[in-house]
Structure 1
């Protein structure tokens, strides 16, 4: 395996004719992938950002790592001008014919170009390709523009059997022998990705709530690093917080004990991040920008979703109340946070301990914004909204379930941090309102059947005089 890696080169696949031959296949296949961000707009072309041979082409097969920029029009309207769009990470395999086990990974058949006649497929589903990635991570290889780093204190065996996870949406993951999980970021941007940055920071702080990165995969392009993937310990037997909450709801069981433990885990993560990385004091001028952004998002959502408009004045009052406090001289602390915290980002081990995962933040936001210090209450608001979502997802409603979870979560957070989020109701209401507005817009666009869930919260928040 390692011999094949050191032999790999980049020059032969960088030829324009390779991308030209893949172009018609990728135009059809890429928009169908769950992690493709540009849905609703056709792909009009591609630019090859980087191409690397992970295995030298043979008479029967080839394996390529590609970074391609997808061009899409500004809007679905006819005649819109195309522009460079998102950059995607692809692992492309080519064979003369696919074995039956790889049939679901089919992309198409090459009709022209240097490899005409080959069958193209998503190679992440091929154990051989997954083995190549693990070996590169294990040896700290450099393959063309790809660099693989690792924590030498953690052992990586090379004989772990890979399997692809099927549940993710914005990225892809491979589990190796119930020992490690490799998360491959699909939409690639230059710079330091918090999905690697923050777990590394937390590992140095000995925070047990976040699995420490074992190895990582980068691309070095134009003197700038792109984070491509992170290998971390796989929490065998761990239960997804969302699925666990729904299971308890289905049985009519109380979840407040788990919610309290989740609050404690969140506070441990926040405390470690606040200790390790710089914090900022948020005063009047900074709050003006934050409130301005919240108000703009509300106005845009109300314009797009008519059902939101009757509640807009009440929701706006949540932001105005926060601005009033800032004008009176109140200040808050901003620090690095998770950025997209909800039940699905938390795992409970068989021993009952909670872990927090997926520090990428909201992928739709610019990387610089995701790395900015923010009030920790933003994470808290996200989790409180997640309890609401779980409660409304139950087939048989359990009265008071979400309220009990919300209270227990805040109490658990206070036990570790010394600060109960409920003691700052204006700040908490503003961030929860901002999150609910985002949810309304998201559900209206992608899952209209779910729209009543955030609208229920919107009605409550619009009528709220300041007490969550």
Structure 2
């Protein structure tokens, strides 16, 4: 192979900028640095004779050049070959003279089943050597003959299934500290929770302050149970709505695809998950000052949203009043929660509902995602999701496929009300207290304001979905 002369940083910048998981799309950026965390255990070294790949993990530092600015760190699992690999051409990062492996064709390793085998073997037999630390929980025997398959639909991370045995989530954007997706799954797995995919292990590295990341632990990946036959909760909800729309003379409780039973079972699953989290993580009682801070944060998010979506102005007074009712609450208990819960974060399996992705809201800094909050924030997220599902179907079906627009709108409202009620009743197990209703209403309003901004920026045609929800708050 001819020795490549290209600058690795330039090649990596081009690859990162076009990657699905890169969070800075549309922003001017430059790679300020690259460093190697280490070679994956089991991978041949630079001087070993081998025809397959060498595998290592690099981190790259992204500096943004716009007014917002800032720095982010991204993980690149890399596979190094001495010759080009046509079957990996779509995952080519570039060709360069690597400091460890010499002249190399370099690929994103998550696409390469030969390289991924090194990760799986390292989880199965973790060794206390080298900078990369693979941790394994007891109780699961790995299928080391299984081949890897990369999931193609993800946005912020990369997930790789190993046959039908396990699933590895590779965190692309890396923040120093303990990732709640790992810590929550570890606690719930050890507690025997039926409502999460069991955690099998995780990968991390400990860095000193001179590393450029600020030092401390960097958690890079987690390996967990692969729920191969599971169905996505969001997809199931959409199917239920379509079944309702297809029946001209039936109500939501009369359709064969009625979802209310599943909504109730999901409510029970969330209640039991919250109970486990409350048992195994610290709980706190917020002071008056902390409750005030919660409400002030809602006001700030509304202020920012008004700059993006001026139509919110006519509802601002009612929204602020909904927030301000929370100020009277005393002894507010907070705990570890999911913090980004919606139907897309749930899976229906033959053994019941599973809740996934405890990372928290990706846009928030890790320090904020680690903070406790009220469990009613999770409940509010689910209620908003139950409202979204029928409105999305209502807007995406063809006029000729189902009943007319007015009837679709009526049925969408009927489906949403039925499933919100079934979920909430099952979750609460009885009537809500005044404080619970107050807090839930504020969280629902806060979530709807967030959705208005998101839709205005990403799907303007859908902005009426959360706006309609806010109008209903106005009338309540």
Report TM bin, short chain: 0.7 to 0.9
Q: How far apart, CA to CA, are the structure 1 residues paired with 2:451 and 2:108?
A: 32
Correspondence for 2:199 among 189, 213, 225: 213
1:241 correspondence with 2:229: no
Q: How far apart, CA to CA, are the structure 1 residues paired with 2:180 and 2:287?
A: 25
1:408 correspondence with 2:427: no
Correspondence for 1:438 among 450, 464, 468: 450
User: SS of the residue aligned with 2:76?
Assistant: strand
TM-score (norm 2): 0.85
**Kept after mapping to 1: 8 A contact 2:110/2:116:** yes
What's 1:29 paired with?
15
Correspondence for 1:319 among 315, 320, 323: 323
**Kept after mapping to 1: 8 A contact 2:425/2:431:** no
Deviation at 1:272, TM superposition (A): 0.7
Correspondence for 1:274 among 255, 275, 278: 278
1:66 correspondence with 2:63: no
What's 2:388 paired with?
389
Per-residue CA deviations over 1:161-218 (Å, capped at 9, x if unaligned) read 1111112111110111111011111111111111011111112322211122111111
1:361 correspondence with 2:353: no
Q: How far apart, CA to CA, are the structure 2 residues paired with 1:369 and 1:315?
A: 24
What's 1:134 paired with?
120
User: SS of the residue aligned with 2:154?
Assistant: coil
Q: How far apart, CA to CA, are the structure 2 residues paired with 1:356 and 1:432?
A: 20
What's 2:67 paired with?
75
Deviation at 1:244, TM superposition (A): 1.1
Deviation at 1:358, TM superposition (A): 0.7
1:263 correspondence with 2:249: no
> CA RMSD of the aligned region, Å?
2.4
Q: How far apart, CA to CA, are the structure 1 residues paired with 2:90 and 2:471?
A: 44
Q: How far apart, CA to CA, are the structure 2 residues paired with 1:452 and 1:105?
A: 39
Q: How far apart, CA to CA, are the structure 2 residues paired with 1:380 and 1:134?
A: 36
Q: Any unmatched runs of 5+ in structure 1?
A: 1-17, 77-81
**Kept after mapping to 1: 8 A contact 2:28/2:66:** no
Q: Any unmatched runs of 5+ in structure 2?
A: 209-214, 245-256, 403-407
**Kept after mapping to 2: 8 A contact 1:263/1:410:** yes
**Kept after mapping to 1: 8 A contact 2:199/2:222:** yes
Higher alpha-carbon deviation: 180-189 or 34-43: 34-43
What's 1:176 paired with?
162
**Change in CA separation of 1:143 and 1:29 when aligned onto 2, cut-off 3 Å:** farther
**Kept after mapping to 2: 8 A contact 1:377/1:421:** no
Q: How far apart, CA to CA, are the structure 2 residues paired with 1:393 and 1:314?
A: 26
Q: How far apart, CA to CA, are the structure 1 residues paired with 2:130 and 2:66?
A: 34
What's 2:140 paired with?
154
User: SS of the residue aligned with 1:391?
Assistant: helix
**Change in CA separation of 1:235 and 1:115 when aligned onto 2, cut-off 3 Å:** closer
Deviation at 1:296, TM superposition (A): 0.3
**Kept after mapping to 1: 8 A contact 2:234/2:344:** yes
What's 1:425 paired with?
437
Q: How far apart, CA to CA, are the structure 2 residues paired with 1:307 and 1:72?
A: 31
**Kept after mapping to 2: 8 A contact 1:413/1:419:** no
1:460 correspondence with 2:459: no
**Change in CA separation of 1:240 and 1:143 when aligned onto 2, cut-off 3 Å:** farther
Deviation at 1:104, TM superposition (A): 2.0
Q: How far apart, CA to CA, are the structure 2 residues paired with 1:443 and 1:117?
A: 46
**Kept after mapping to 2: 8 A contact 1:410/1:420:** no
Q: How does 1:330-345 map to 2 (within 5 A)?
A: 330-345=330-345
User: SS of the residue aligned with 2:7?
Assistant: helix
What's 1:8 paired with?
none
What's 1:449 paired with?
461
User: SS of the residue aligned with 1:388?
Assistant: helix
**Kept after mapping to 2: 8 A contact 1:107/1:120:** yes
1:185 correspondence with 2:184: no
Per-residue CA deviations over 1:45-65 (Å, capped at 9, x if unaligned) read 232254323332479754321
**Kept after mapping to 2: 8 A contact 1:20/1:113:** no
Deviation at 1:111, TM superposition (A): 8.4
Equivalences, count? 434
**Kept after mapping to 2: 8 A contact 1:303/1:309:** no
What's 2:253 paired with?
none
Q: How far apart, CA to CA, are the structure 2 residues paired with 1:118 and 1:257?
A: 56
TM-score (norm 1): 0.87
Per-residue CA deviations over 1:237-267 (Å, capped at 9, x if unaligned) read 1101011111222222321111101100000
